[in-house]
């Protein structure tokens, strides 16, 4: 049974990693400023955390860099694994507390076999883990305004979740269609938001962010020749989503895109190295931007 579960989880994560890369500069060339000048302008900062399965540990390194720079985040949004991290951060967990969770997590902690005809696995355990860490809370009650991206599998529409149970919203945002069982919220059958917006810029624009920091975990990867059907499926997802992601991220002011080519998307023992990689790239970009 556990062997079957591992195979299913591996498939899920491989599909998740297909969410697209970007081909644009790290930040807009039209301006940069000191943090003191920025603060005096009273502009609001939004943080967009993209999908990427295990690679999501790099988000924690980004949060560390933001903390060390003294940058205050006013809004946050997440897609897929980015939604998981965003939910924890929005309700007060700092990067060190999220790092502890990441480094002590395995796939059986957040997924299990499903007996539904709509998916092989259930991510109900992920929702339970979130509730264990931050309580039975709703998105609209967060001290830091937060939104998560999901997709309505019936209407094929993007759904921005900004109210309701945090754990359930994160489950919806991370439910790879056909693998994880879809999550029903308000009568809508929802699946992974990476299908519609892997790097969630649009919710931050709607919230009123003046400056948007976006984190893409799936750019600058050096692809090798595919060796099996799983890799072919993965590349197909990349090819179909690249153009959309490039267009959607044009509203990002700062783009953090660490090269995570050396990592795979299923090994949770990589967390520490991924966190460091995310930190190094984020601190480099942020120091260039806030001179």
Q: Verify whether residue 30 is a known catalytic residue.
A: no
Q: How does DSSP assign the chain, residue by residue?
A: -HHHHHHHHHHHHHHHTTS----S-SB-TT----HHHHHHTT--EEEEE---GGGGGHHHHHHHHHHHHTPPP-EEEEETHHHHHHHHHHTT--HHHHHHHHHT--HHHH-EE---TT-SEE-HHHHHHHHHHH-S-BGGG-SS-EEEEEEETTTTEEEEE-SSBHHHHHHHHT--BTTBPPEEETTEEEEEGGGT-SS--HHHHHHT-SEEEEE-SSSS--PPPP-SHHHHHHHHHHHHHHHHHHHHGGG-SEEE----TT--SS-GGGHHHHHHHHHHHHHHHHHHH--
Q: Verify whether residue 128 is a known catalytic residue.
A: no
Catalytic residue (choose from 17, 18, 20, 80):
80
Catalytic residue (choose from 173, 192, 219, 241):
192
* Catalytic residue set: 80, 192
């Amino acid at each position: 049974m556990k062997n079957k579960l591992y195979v299913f989880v591996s498939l899920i994560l491989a599909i998740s990693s297909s969410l697209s890369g970007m081909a644009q500069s790290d930040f807009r060339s039209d301006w940069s400023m000191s943090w003191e000048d920025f603060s005096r302008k009273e502009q609001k900062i939004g943080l967009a955390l993209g999908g990427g399965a295990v690679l999501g540990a790099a988000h924690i390194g980004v949060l560390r860099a933001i903390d060390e720079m003294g940058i205050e985040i006013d809004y946050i949004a997440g897609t897929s694994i980015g939604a998981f991290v965003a939910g924890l951060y929005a309700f007060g967990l700092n990067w060190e507390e999220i790092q502890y969770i990441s480094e002590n997590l395995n796939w059986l902690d957040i997924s299990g076999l499903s007996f539904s005809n709509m998916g092989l696995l259930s991510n109900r355990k992920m929702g339970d883990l979130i509730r264990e860490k931050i309580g039975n809370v709703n998105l609209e009650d967060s001290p830091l305004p937060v939104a998560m991206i999901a997709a309505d599998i019936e209407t094929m529409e993007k759904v921005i979740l900004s109210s309701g149970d945090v754990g359930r919203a994160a489950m919806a945002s991370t439910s790879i269609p056909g693998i994880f069982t879809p999550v029903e919220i308000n009568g809508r059958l929802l699946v992974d938001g990476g299908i519609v917006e892997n790097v969630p810029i649009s919710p931050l624009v709607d919230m009123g962010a003046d400056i948007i920091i976006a984190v893409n975990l799936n750019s600058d990867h050096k692809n090798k020749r595919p060796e099996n059907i799983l890799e072919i499926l993965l590349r197909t997802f990349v090819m179909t989503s690249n153009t959309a992601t490039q267009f959607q991220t044009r509203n990002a002011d700062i783009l953090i895109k660490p090269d995570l080519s050396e990592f795979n998307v299923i090994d949770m023992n990589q967390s520490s190295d991924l966190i460091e990689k995310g930190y190094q790239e984020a601190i480099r970009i942020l120091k260039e931007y806030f001179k």
